[in-house]
Each structure stands twice: as C-alpha cells, then as structure tokens.
Amino acid sequence: MKSGVLLLEYYTDSIDEVLLHYKSQKSAYCYLLDTNRRLLYHPFEKEIASEMYQEKTVKEAMACKNYKIEEQSGGKWLIERQQIGYTGWNVVLVNSIR
C-alpha cells in the first residue's frame, strides 16, 4: 500500500447561511462541532474562551438522533442535530420553547 495525501474540497456556503441566520436570533442559536465534539463555531465564542459561558447542550445533542426537548436553566429547549454528510461534523440548533 502506498502512502500519500488526499485533498478534499468541501463547500461550506450552505452551512455558513444557517449559522449566520441563527446568529441574529434572540431565542435560538446554532453551533458547529467537529468529529471529536470540539466547537468549530459558536456564537458565544468569546464568552466560552473567557469561561463566562459553558455550552451545556453538546452531550444531549450528540445523544439524540434528530432532536430532543431538554429542560435547563429554568426553561425548555429544543435541541436539534444534523450531521453534515461524510465529514462527521454536526450542526446543532438550540431553540427556546416558550
């Protein structure tokens, strides 16, 4: 077996649109995880880096197939997860249920 390098090109325009759409929402937000459940994008990146905020929905998102309703921080939240093709990355949407 020969060793080498494989280059893949993956267009992220549709993912960018989803992330930007939820960035301006007041009762919902969206984040992106890699295959190791590390945050690739989160609208509260600065707060997470300064330890002022901790994302508490990663475990619940990865445990559900499509969506889950979770009670946290005095409210109900709809947590939806969708894997992005063969990448292993996941887009997670967290939406307040009033």
Chain-centre distance for alpha carbon 42:
7
**DSSP three-state, residue 10:** coil
The pTM of the full predicted model, rounded to 2 decimals, is 0.76
Question: pLDDT digit of tens for each residue in the chain (98 aa)?
Answer: 778 776 656 555 666 677 776 676 778 899 999 999 999 889 888 999 999 998 989 999 999 888 888 887 788 989 999 888 888 899 999 988 87
**DSSP three-state, residue 50:** coil
| Every domain of the chain and the residues it spans | 13-97
For domain 13-97, give the fold. Answer: Beta-Lactamase (3.30.450)
- Token pair in block for residue 77: 């939240």
Measured CA to CA, the distance from residue 23 to residue 94 in angstroms comes to: 11
